[in-house]
Amino acid sequence: METETRSRKALCLEDLRRKILTEELAPGSYIDEIEAAEIYGVSRPPLREVLRLLAGEGYIVLHENRGAQVAPMTHKTLRNFFMAAPMIYSAVTRLAAEHATPAQIVKLKECQWSFRQAIRNGDAAERALENERFHSIIGEMADNEFLTPSLRRLLIDHTRIGMTFYSPRKPQLAAEREIAADQHDQFIDLIEAGDADAAAALAVAHWELSRAQIESFVTPEGMQIPLGRAPGADRRGVS
């Protein structure tokens, strides 16, 4: 019970992050403190500390006297995400190419190996988590405490959006996943070479691929919404 005690809380933190990223905990849903505390075998005070940490990272939103809510995805989320993502991703990737240490590059390569494994054998959640981890490591490489907060926030919803719009019935997605994985290899090469400009450009290209995937789900085929409008902003009212 000595080494286990500390890791119970750490495990709780990790697992809640995972459940939120994979939407096992749905956006907007509420977390019951007593129930969660029992699940992870801790009492309520340490669980509440975990929830505060998650709140700071943007995973959940705290409401005074009304509990902890898994960060909701509103109609503005996609629009805001599309605004911020290319800027932050390219800036972070540029800095990663400039500052990455050999140890970090090794770590990134190992992660890419796991990502390829997940593409072959894993389910959607495993793929999404490995992808999140890959880009988190690039964030570590950038080593800029002022950009990391936004990157982390972006990765949360990027992962969740990927889970939301995932559909096993579209075979073309498999091909696009291969392209994404190849781009990950290019990330590694360019970061290892220290080519900041090319790395930043690749980040934009990688983002465009993801963006196109998302838009193909948000905007119904044959009924494209004009560019510049927030994708899917009015869907609820239409159906």
Tokens at residue 26, please?
């749905």
**Residue 61 near DNA by CB under 7 A:** no
**Residue 46 near DNA by CB under 7 A:** yes
Residues that bind a second copy (CB under 8 A): 6, 45, 48-49, 52-58, 64, 76-77, 80-81, 83-85, 87-88, 91, 95, 143-150, 152-154, 157
Order across the sheet with 67-70: list the strands.
30-31, 67-70, 60-63
Angle at 7 between CA 6 and CA 11, to 5 degrees: 140
**Which residue lies nearer to DNA by CB, 11 or 147?**
11
CA atoms within 13 A on the CB side of 181: 19
Among 3, 121, 167, 172, binds DNA (CB under 7 A): 3
Cβ contacts of 154 within 8 Å, gap of 6 or more: 81, 84, 85, 88, 89
Least Å from the CB of residue 222 to DNA:
42
**Which residue lies nearer to a second copy by CB, 104 or 186?**
104
From the list DNA, a second copy, none, partner contacted by residue 67 (C-beta under 5 to 8 A by kind):
DNA
**Which residue lies nearer to DNA by CB, 61 or 91?**
61
Least Å from the CB of residue 55 to DNA:
11
Query: Are 200 and 71 within 8 A, CB to CB?
Result: no
